[in-house]
Chains A and B, each alone.
Chain A
Amino acid sequence: MDAAANEHHAARGGVTVFNLDNALKEWVKTLRRNPGFEDGYIEELRSHVLDEVDFLVGQGKSEQEAFETAIANIGPVDGIGVEYYKTNTRRLVAAPPWQPGGNKLGLLYNYFKIAVRKLKRHKGYSLVNILGLGIGITCFIFILLHVKTELSYDNYHEDGDRVYRVARGTQFKSSTRLTAGNSPMLAKTLKDNFPEVERAARLLIWKSRIIKYKDRVYYDTNSRYADPELFKTLAIPFIQGDPETALDRPNTAVLSRETAKRYFGDENPVGKTITIDDKDFEITGILKDPPVNTHYKYGIITSLSTLKDDEHINKWDMNYNAYTYIKLAPGSDAGDFENRIRRLAHDYIGEKLKAAGVVCTYFLQPLKDIHLHSHLNEESEPPGSLMNLTIFLAVGILILLIAGMNFINLSTANYANRAAEVGIRKVIGGQRRQLIFQFLGESLLISFLALISAVFMFLVVCPYLNDIAGTHFSGGGLLQPDVILILAGLGLSTGFMAGIYPSFFLSRFKPISVLRGVLRIGSKGLVLRKILVLTQFVISISLIIGTIAVYKQIGFMKSRDPGFDKEKKLVVRFPREVLNKDNYKTVKNEFLNHSSISGAALSTGVPGRWIYKWMLYPAGEQATNTQVVHCMGIDVDYIPLYGLTIIAGRDFKEELGTDTPNRGYILNEAAVKIFGWDSPEEAVGKGIFNDKIRVIGVLKDFHFMGLQNKIEPLGLFLMGEDYRYITLNTDMENTRGTIAFIEKTYGKFFPGSPLEYFFMDEDFDLQYRAEEQFNRLFRIFTILGIFIACLGIFGLSTYMAEQRTKEIGIRKVFGARYPGAPCLGARRTPSPSQACGKRQTQTIENYRQWQ
């Protein structure tokens, strides 16, 4: 090699000069590269080569020839190095570590020991470091699982990419309404007329029915009607029973396992009969419980053929809301199909729609997008919020950032203490990459300890968080491959990032300067640290601002007057069609028969609960002014009981002949506006549907659907039958006695029916549950984030103080008083603390120069 180099030189320079000293130096360098050689061995070999050269030159060879021969005689250098290594090592398997197949991990045990020793020696620091990162990761795990669940809605269906829900847009004169449900005729029409529709199934939600088996009676809000096709369109696995035939007869039903357990306990329900709203249904199958991540939760599904004689089911009726799911044949163009079905309703009931002045448009929604992207009316469950999800994810990442920065900060600070170790390691032959490997490994070890502690913390706090967030996570959620991957990646990257800077920085030290103590490294990395701490502050502050905003929002919603009196009201719910013209007055009076109850009102709906929606139009304007209006049947006591304000016209009055049930409407301001009337006064006296039914009064708007929703048009009318709720004004004093009285009274009229009652204010506030959950989670995560940040600052300051003990000592000896010392620490953190005066700062600078 040296010869070649020399020749090369010669060729370029044109002169051949062989310099024995240089050649020898080059050769010695190759020896040094081999870790088996020590200085003494090399010197011995060098001396040997020189002897040989002398001898050969004596025999008449040129210096260059002699040198080359001598080197050749010495033999391959690597082999010699290995021999030396074998002689020196105590290990039995003597393949040297630098050769392939050698044991590279020989020092691993030592690294591990040192790492553990460091952890033990700085217990507080280690705890802060591991705990901080651990808490951060715990938060992140929870948010990760939450986001993952939300994003995974309905992604498990076989051929799910070909399954769509057909939704509808109804365009009125001045507004458009998007609805998830559709006419029950749609599914059949699509299947019969469009070859690309492979399957089409309907799912009808029945708002609460009374389900009875032997002595077990419950209101069930999860009951559905469905076609048997549904099981081939969506993934709804059976545990028992045959999907093909389970729902093909009228009066058959399948139950989810949970529902089956509720009514049948350990009995096998298949073949048994259950009573739903006084009709008998045969149980033909048991379904797996619906997973959390589906938008259609079911408890009991009854056959849609049960309703085959219902007048609405076989008509293109817009009042029935059946969810229509279709599966397109493979390879069909969904966009093209959508275009062709857009105006389908007009082919069948064009006349009627035209008369109503309505344009009806169908569109497709991919199954996977329904949960997060569809916010239509009549959704089967409240949809998820993409925005909340994004915010959560951002919070998760921010917390992780805070924790990660802490970790990096504390690690860097701590490494500064280890310059001496680096020096010693280098002196006894540690190579730079070994040091890098050691420090990186150490930092990875700590980050994985944090990861493990995070998993444990998650297992511990999971039930509490579930409680707050309404989620259903468990330790099992961690075992999903992608979660494991993300967590491992997280541990690795945090460890790596925390380790990379110090390891490269430290391993660069020259041992001599470190050991002599020339190098003061405490202040190195200070800029990085300052930036990190500052970023942490910024993140913490933005989190705090976010929390305050969310908190105020909810406070606003809860404290603002909803426009009606929701206090001290107890509401009892009645089954369908049990109150009629003949008995409602008796029932009402019976409930009033208690000293604590001062008032009662009957109605078909109450604020915060589901209310009918009807299509109303002013007399003579059906084609041009049909609008969807929430409608509620009430009695004469309702408006005063709820403290609603009439701003024009008058309230219903029993004694006036024109107010016989159904003969007049009281609208709210929003309804007046949507019909295009200029003022409440103008609205009074207008006819609804025809001239016989008139608007007799206008109500001031009130939030009957919660403050987060805008106030929609509302119409009230006197009903006289089929009331569903009685609202009782109570003095809230002897609540237990009042409830006992209600139970007794209810039982007297409706023996065997389940009693459902609730307090108006509590029930109404349930509408803010999603917001509350969001708020509480946000708050917890913010507090944790700030806690982690504080933990970091605390760790860092303690560390700083520890490093400067000597300085503080000297200062005290010189007469520094107590408040002076903490200023030192304050200066090191980039807070705008101006506690130290300029003069004092100057002194500190002087001192440092002197030092």
Chain B
Amino acid sequence: MVAASTKPLILSILSSGENYGYQIIQKVKELSGGTIEWSDGMLYPVLHRLEKDRLITSDWKMSDGGRHRKYYTVTARGLEELSRDMQEWLSVHDVLSKLWTPLRMNTMRPAEV
């Protein structure tokens, strides 16, 4: 679940402007209020994969503190991919919402043994 959502998450964050790895992670944590927890390191291979799939591009820049940072930008192809993902996730969300309306969260606990 987390893995499948990673791509649209990253693409969405990048669609609002170029960014680098550390900031992307912070943003995900911030938005999810800490419910989505990645091990930080795992983000980077994913970024590399997206770049290889030409959904994003990257560029090394020097920060003010003299630190190397790799900035990622979403490509046109990445945006296309994002809108496709969006539709898919939304339709899934619609269906699941309809299904789950009669249920309450607390009834979903597993039966006590």
The reply to whether A47 and B39 form a contact with Cβ atoms under 8 Å apart is no
CB proximity to A under 8 Å, residues B3-58: 20-22, 25, 39-42, 44-46, 48-49, 52
User: Known contacts A75-B40, A84-B45: does B52 contact A48 (CB below 8 Å)?
Assistant: no
The reply to whether A47 and B40 form a contact with Cβ atoms under 8 Å apart is no
Chain B residues, Cβ within 8 Å of A83: 42, 45-46
Q: Is residue B104 contacting chain A, with contact meaning CB distance below 8 A?
A: no
The reply to whether A47 and B52 form a contact with Cβ atoms under 8 Å apart is no
The reply to whether B41 and A52 form a contact with Cβ atoms under 8 Å apart is no
The reply to whether A41 and B44 form a contact with Cβ atoms under 8 Å apart is yes
The reply to whether A48 and B21 form a contact with Cβ atoms under 8 Å apart is yes
Which of A41, A44, A86 has the largest count of B CB atoms less than 10 A from its CB? A44
Which of B25, B39, B44, B69 has the largest count of A CB atoms less than 10 A from its CB? B44
Chain B residues touching A, majority SS: helix
Of all chain A residues, the one with the shortest Cβ separation from B63 is A47
Chain B residues, Cβ within 8 Å of A277: none
Q: When chains A and B are docked, how far (Å) is the Cα of A41 from the Cα of B21?
A: 11
8 A-B pairs besides A48-B44, A70-B40 with CB distance below 8 A are A40-B70, A43-B68, A44-B44, A48-B25, A48-B40, A51-B22, A80-B44, A88-B52
Q: Is residue A58 contacting chain B, with contact meaning CB distance below 8 A?
A: no
Shortest distance in angstroms between B92's beta carbon and chain A's nearest beta carbon?
26
The reply to whether B68 and A47 form a contact with Cβ atoms under 8 Å apart is yes
Chain A residues, Cβ within 8 Å of B44: 41, 44-45, 48, 80, 84
Q: Is residue B109 contacting chain A, with contact meaning CB distance below 8 A?
A: no
Q: When chains A and B are docked, how far (Å) is the Cα of A50 from the Cα of B66?
A: 11
**Contacts A/B (CB < 8 Å), 19 sampled:** A41-B48, A44-B44, A45-B41, A45-B44, A47-B67, A48-B40, A48-B44, A51-B67, A70-B40, A73-B41, A74-B40, A74-B41, A76-B41, A80-B44, A84-B45, A84-B48, A86-B45, A87-B45, A87-B48
Interface residues of B, CB < 8 Å — how many? 18
Which of B22, B41, B46, B48 has the largest count of A CB atoms less than 10 A from its CB? B41
Q: When chains A and B are docked, how far (Å) is the Cα of A89 from the Cα of B100?
A: 41
Closest A-B pairs by Cβ, 6 of them: A75-B39, A83-B45, A74-B41, A51-B22, A80-B41, A75-B41
Q: When chains A and B are docked, how far (Å) is the Cα of A47 from the Cα of B69?
A: 7
User: Known contacts A87-B49, A87-B52: does B42 contact A50 (CB below 8 Å)?
Assistant: no
CB proximity to A under 8 Å, residues B60-81: 67-70
The reply to whether B40 and A73 form a contact with Cβ atoms under 8 Å apart is yes
Chain A residues, Cβ within 8 Å of B67: 47, 50-51
CB proximity to B under 8 Å, residues A24-79: 40-41, 43-45, 47-48, 50-52, 70, 73-77, 79
Shortest distance in angstroms between B98's beta carbon and chain A's nearest beta carbon?
36
Report how many A-B pairs have Cβ atoms within 8 Å.
Answer: 61
Q: When chains A and B are docked, how far (Å) is the Cα of A88 from the Cα of B69?
A: 21
Chain B residues, Cβ within 8 Å of A86: 45
Interface residues of A, CB < 8 Å — how many? 23
Of all chain B residues, the one with the shortest Cβ separation from A75 is B39
Chain A residues, Cβ within 8 Å of B20: 47
The reply to whether B40 and A52 form a contact with Cβ atoms under 8 Å apart is yes
Of all chain A residues, the one with the shortest Cβ separation from B49 is A87
Chain A residues, Cβ within 8 Å of B68: 43-44, 47
Q: When chains A and B are docked, how far (Å) is the Cα of A84 from the Cα of B21?
A: 15
Q: When chains A and B are docked, how far (Å) is the Cα of A45 from the Cα of B47?
A: 12
Q: When chains A and B are docked, how far (Å) is the Cα of A51 from the Cα of B21?
A: 10
Q: When chains A and B are docked, how far (Å) is the Cα of A52 from the Cα of B20?
A: 13
Shortest distance in angstroms between A584's beta carbon and chain B's nearest beta carbon?
110
Give the A-binding residues of B (Cβ under 8 A). 20-22, 25, 39-42, 44-46, 48-49, 52, 67-70
Q: When chains A and B are docked, how far (Å) is the Cα of A74 from the Cα of B21?
A: 12
Of all chain B residues, the one with the shortest Cβ separation from A41 is B44
Chain A residues touching B, majority SS: helix
User: Known contacts A48-B40, A75-B39, A87-B52: does B45 contact A80 (CB below 8 Å)?
Assistant: yes
Q: Which of B21, B42, B52 is the one whose CB lies under 8 Å from A44?
A: B21
Of all chain A residues, the one with the shortest Cβ separation from B69 is A47
Chain A residues, Cβ within 8 Å of B25: 48
The reply to whether A52 and B42 form a contact with Cβ atoms under 8 Å apart is no
Chain A residues, Cβ within 8 Å of B70: 40, 43-44, 47
Q: When chains A and B are docked, how far (Å) is the Cα of A52 from the Cα of B68?
A: 14
Q: When chains A and B are docked, how far (Å) is the Cα of A73 from the Cα of B34?
A: 13
Chain B residues, Cβ within 8 Å of A45: 41, 44
The reply to whether A73 and B21 form a contact with Cβ atoms under 8 Å apart is no
Shortest distance in angstroms between A53's beta carbon and chain B's nearest beta carbon?
11
Which of A48, A50, A79, A83 has the largest count of B CB atoms less than 10 A from its CB? A48
Chain A residues, Cβ within 8 Å of B69: 47
Shortest distance in angstroms between B72's beta carbon and chain A's nearest beta carbon?
10
The reply to whether B22 and A47 form a contact with Cβ atoms under 8 Å apart is yes
Q: When chains A and B are docked, how far (Å) is the Cα of A88 from the Cα of B49?
A: 8
Shortest distance in angstroms between B27's beta carbon and chain A's nearest beta carbon?
13
Residue-wise interface mask of A (74-101) relative to B, using a CB-CB cutoff of 8 A (1 in contact, 0 not): 1111011001101110000000000000
Chain B residues, Cβ within 8 Å of A48: 21-22, 25, 40, 44
Residue-wise interface mask of A (142-167) relative to B, using a CB-CB cutoff of 8 A (1 in contact, 0 not): 00000000000000000000000000
The reply to whether B42 and A79 form a contact with Cβ atoms under 8 Å apart is yes
Q: When chains A and B are docked, how far (Å) is the Cα of A47 from the Cα of B65?
A: 11
Of all chain A residues, the one with the shortest Cβ separation from B38 is A75
Chain A residues, Cβ within 8 Å of B49: 87
Shortest distance in angstroms between B76's beta carbon and chain A's nearest beta carbon?
22
Shortest distance in angstroms between B67's beta carbon and chain A's nearest beta carbon?
5
Q: When chains A and B are docked, how far (Å) is the Cα of A40 from the Cα of B68?
A: 10
The reply to whether B22 and A74 form a contact with Cβ atoms under 8 Å apart is no
Q: When chains A and B are docked, how far (Å) is the Cα of A621 from the Cα of B7?
A: 121
Chain B residues, Cβ within 8 Å of A73: 39-41
Chain B residues, Cβ within 8 Å of A80: 41-42, 44-45
Shortest distance in angstroms between A392's beta carbon and chain B's nearest beta carbon?
66
Of all chain B residues, the one with the shortest Cβ separation from A46 is B68
Of all chain B residues, the one with the shortest Cβ separation from A84 is B45
Shortest distance in angstroms between A641's beta carbon and chain B's nearest beta carbon?
105
Shortest distance in angstroms between B14's beta carbon and chain A's nearest beta carbon?
15
Q: When chains A and B are docked, how far (Å) is the Cα of A417 from the Cα of B50?
A: 43
Chain A residues, Cβ within 8 Å of B48: 41, 84, 87
Chain A residues, Cβ within 8 Å of B41: 45, 73-77, 79-80
Q: When chains A and B are docked, how far (Å) is the Cα of A327 from the Cα of B61?
A: 95
Shortest distance in angstroms between A424's beta carbon and chain B's nearest beta carbon?
25
Shortest distance in angstroms between A93's beta carbon and chain B's nearest beta carbon?
18
Chain A residues, Cβ within 8 Å of B39: 73-76, 79
Of all chain A residues, the one with the shortest Cβ separation from B45 is A83
Q: When chains A and B are docked, how far (Å) is the Cα of A80 from the Cα of B52?
A: 16
Chain B residues, Cβ within 8 Å of A88: 52
Chain B residues, Cβ within 8 Å of A70: 40
Q: When chains A and B are docked, how far (Å) is the Cα of A451 from the Cα of B110?
A: 70
Chain A residues, Cβ within 8 Å of B42: 75, 79-80, 83
Q: When chains A and B are docked, how far (Å) is the Cα of A76 from the Cα of B40?
A: 10
Of all chain B residues, the one with the shortest Cβ separation from A43 is B68
Q: When chains A and B are docked, how far (Å) is the Cα of A73 from the Cα of B44?
A: 13
Which of B22, B48, B52 has the largest count of A CB atoms less than 10 A from its CB? B22
Of all chain B residues, the one with the shortest Cβ separation from A87 is B49
Shortest distance in angstroms between A786's beta carbon and chain B's nearest beta carbon?
63
Shortest distance in angstroms between B107's beta carbon and chain A's nearest beta carbon?
35
Of all chain B residues, the one with the shortest Cβ separation from A73 is B40
Q: When chains A and B are docked, how far (Å) is the Cα of A88 from the Cα of B44?
A: 13
Q: When chains A and B are docked, how far (Å) is the Cα of A106 from the Cα of B46?
A: 25
Chain A residues, Cβ within 8 Å of B46: 83
Residue-wise interface mask of A (806-839) relative to B, using a CB-CB cutoff of 8 A (1 in contact, 0 not): 0000000000000000000000000000000000
Of all chain A residues, the one with the shortest Cβ separation from B22 is A51
Q: When chains A and B are docked, how far (Å) is the Cα of A219 from the Cα of B33?
A: 112
Q: When chains A and B are docked, how far (Å) is the Cα of A48 from the Cα of B45?
A: 13
Of all chain A residues, the one with the shortest Cβ separation from B53 is A87
Chain B residues, Cβ within 8 Å of A79: 39, 41-42
